[in-house]
């Protein structure tokens, strides 16, 4: 299989030109809902444009509005340079990866375009957006992000500036997180009390025919001018135009057309930005997720490297421990240490009794041997 991998903060793009045999090791079709990556930001105020009385659909009538706290989604994007219709592409992505790609913002689309262009390909490529059979109400902030914070963690701020719904959404996303999502009566009452009686303000609820293959409710749309036009009501699937001139804009096409396509794979790791001893970190991961991460392949190391860039400590705990009795390193998952990425002077020799393994959050992200009493951020496996 030929690959071209291009790094960025949250996504990889990998070219695939031949069938992939299996999913990445420890892969999963789902991610556990919940994240700790931005727990340190919970004191920040969010923004919002909300309707205290009722949900409002898309409109061009200027109103004011609300939003909430930010988190990141980590995934690898795979460009599959094989011609398939949309349904075949969807099946292939679900079998080999997670699903056809969902695009959340124009910056992400631009990174995909630039990376795929490095493979030499220009032209249309399927993404995961398809037209449904009916209008669907959904929140501007995706459900997978909305329910990662426990109740009470949201921070609201009223923006007294009249905007259309779309402009309000853009403002919140640029300055805070998103338009507000209302999860229960308590939150609705809180928002209601922040506004004057009789005032209409935007919230993040809208309806749309188009839906994503993975059922995420990302509201980002990047249609080419005049699209979608749904010619003869049969253009129900979406391609991204992989060219610099069209800037990755989208077009609705007949689902039976054959094009290359973009898949994504969920990375099943989470960085916890709390400083704990190694044993505390191990217990936390086992109580809240699955385990401390075991890095027994280069692929998992690459996932870890992307996570630790957001760490608030110089090193981040791994599920690696030294056995004083047996005199060797082992992973908490039960794997022996075959693949390794030790920094010079670490991992070999004597003096490791009582030590555990951590990865540097900067530089080359190599592993170091540290006393298990040090308090560091850590990475858990989520599934």
* The token pair that represents 37 in the structure block: 């990556």
For residue 62, name the pLDDT band (cuts at 50, 70, 90).
very low
Q: What phi-psi label fits residue 308: left (phi over 0), alpha (psi between -120 and 50 degrees) or beta?
A: alpha
User: pLDDT by residue (tens digit) across 247-266?
Assistant: 789 999 999 999 999 998 87
Task: Give me the pLDDT at residue 25, please.
Answer: 41
Averaged confidence pLDDT in the chain: 75
CB 218 within 8 A of CB 104: yes
Three-state secondary structure along 250-313?
A: EEEECCCCCEEEEEEEECCEEEEEEEECHHHHHHHHHHHCCEECCCCCHHHHHHHHHHHCCCCC
Using alpha carbons, list the distances in angstroms from residue 213 to 145, 218, 219, 264: 17, 11, 13, 11
Task: Give me the pLDDT at residue 232, please.
Answer: 62
Q: Is the pLDDT of residue 152 over 50?
A: no
Using alpha carbons, list the distances in angstroms from residue 139 to 169, 180, 238: 11, 8, 21
Render the burial of 7-46: b for 16+ CB within 10 Å, e for the rest. eeebbbbbbbeeebeeebebbbeebbeebbbbeeeeeeeb
CB-count exposure of residue 164 (10 Å: 0-12, 13-18, 19+): middle
Topology classification of domain 269-381 = Mannose-Binding Protein A; Chain A (3.10.100)
Secondary structure of residue 209 in the 3-state scheme: strand
Q: Taking every pair of C-alpha atoms in the chain, what is the biggest distance, in angstroms?
A: 74
Task: Give me the pLDDT at residue 348, please.
Answer: 79
Task: Give me the pLDDT at residue 283, please.
Answer: 95
Average pLDDT over residues 281-304: 91
Look at domain 5-265 and name its CATH class: alpha beta
Q: Identify any residues that bridge with 76 across adjacent strands, giving them in sequence order.
A: 12, 265
User: Positive or negative CA dihedral for 86, 88, 90, 93?
Assistant: negative
Q: Is the pLDDT of residue 364 over 50?
A: yes
List, as one string, the DSSP characters of 166-204: HHHHHHHHHHSS-S----SHHHHHHHHHTS-TT--EE-S
Share of residues in the chain with pLDDT > 90 (%): 30
User: pLDDT by residue (tens digit) across 64-95?
Assistant: 333 222 223 457 788 999 999 999 999 999 99
Range list of H helices, the chain: 86-96, 106-117, 143-146, 165-175, 185-193, 278-288, 298-308
Parallel/antiparallel/unpaired status of strands 63-65 and 201-202? parallel
User: pLDDT by residue (tens digit) across 235-252?
Assistant: 899 999 988 677 789 999
d(C-alpha 80, C-alpha 260), whole Å: 6
Task: Give me the pLDDT at residue 23, please.
Answer: 44
Write out the H or E segment, with its range, that includes residue 80.
strand 75-84
Q: Is the pLDDT of residue 278 over 90?
A: yes
pTM for this model (two decimals): 0.54
Residues 6+ apart with CB under 8 A from 104: 73, 142, 218, 220
Average pLDDT over residues 32-54: 31
Task: Give me the pLDDT at residue 129, please.
Answer: 93
Q: Where are the domains of the chain?
A: 5-265, 269-381
CATH topology identical between 5-265 and 269-381: yes
How are the residues of the chain apportioned to helix, strand and coil, as percentages rounded to the nearest 5?
Answer: 20, 30, 50
Of the candidate ranges 179-188, 355-364, 368-377, the one whose mean pLDDT is the lowest: 179-188
Secondary structure of residue 212 in the 3-state scheme: strand
Q: Is the pLDDT of residue 47 over 60?
A: no
Higher pLDDT: 379 or 56? It is 379
User: pLDDT by residue (tens digit) across 185-233?
Assistant: 777 788 778 877 667 888 888 777 888 888 877 778 888 988 888 656 7
User: Positive or negative CA dihedral for 323, 329, 333, 334?
Assistant: negative
Q: Is the pLDDT of residue 234 over 60?
A: yes
Q: How far apart are the first and last CA of the chain?
A: 27
Task: Give me the pLDDT at residue 198, please.
Answer: 67
Write out the H or E segment, with its range, that includes residue 127.
strand 123-139
Task: Give me the pLDDT at residue 156, please.
Answer: 81
């Amino acid at each position: 299989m030929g690959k071209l991998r291009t790094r960025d903060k949250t996504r990889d793009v990998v070219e695939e030109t031949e069938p992939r045999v299996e999913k990445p090791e420890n892969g999963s079709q789902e991610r556990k809902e919940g994240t700790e990556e931005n727990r340190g930001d919970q004191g920040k105020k969010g923004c919002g444009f909300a309707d205290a009385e009722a949900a409002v659909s898309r409109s061009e009538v200027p109103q004011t509005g609300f939003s909430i706290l930010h988190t990141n989604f980590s995934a690898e994007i795979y460009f599959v340079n094989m011609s398939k219709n949309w349904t075949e592409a969807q099946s292939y992505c679900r079998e080999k990866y997670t699903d056809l790609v969902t695009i959340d913002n124009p910056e992400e689309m631009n990174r995909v375009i630039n990376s795929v262009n490095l493979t030499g390909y220009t032209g249309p490529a399927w993404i995961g957006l398809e037209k449904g059979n009916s209008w669907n109400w959904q929140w501007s902030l995706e459900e997978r992000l909305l329910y990662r914070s426990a109740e009470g963690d949201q921070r609201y701020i009223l923006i007294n500036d009249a905007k259309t719904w779309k402009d309000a959404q853009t403002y919140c996303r640029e300055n805070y997180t998103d338009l507000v999502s209302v999860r229960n009566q308590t939150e609705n009452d809180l928002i209601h009390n922040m506004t004057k009686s009789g005032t209409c303000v935007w919230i993040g609820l809208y309806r749309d025919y188009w839906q994503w293959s993975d059922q995420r409710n990302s509201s980002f749309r990047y249609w080419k001018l005049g699209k979608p036009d749904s010619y003869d009501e049969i253009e129900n699937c979406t391609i991204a135009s992989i060219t610099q001139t069209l800037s990755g804009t989208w077009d609705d096409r007949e689902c039976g057309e054959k094009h290359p396509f973009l898949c994504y794979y969920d990375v099943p790791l989470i960085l916890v930005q709390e400083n704990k001893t190694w044993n505390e970190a191990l217990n936390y991961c086992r109580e809240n997720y699955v385990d401390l991460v075991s890095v027994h392949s280069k692929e998992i190391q690459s996932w870890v490297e992307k996570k630790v860039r957001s760490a608030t400590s110089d090193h981040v705990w791994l599920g690696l421990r030294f056995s004083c009795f047996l005199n060797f390193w082992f992973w908490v998952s039960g794997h022996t240490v075959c693949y390794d990425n030790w920094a010079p002077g670490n991992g070999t020799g004597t003096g490791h009794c009582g030590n555990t393994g951590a990865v540097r959050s900067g530089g080359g992200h190599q592993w170091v041997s540290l006393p298990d009493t040090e308090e560091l951020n850590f990475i858990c496996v989520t599934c």
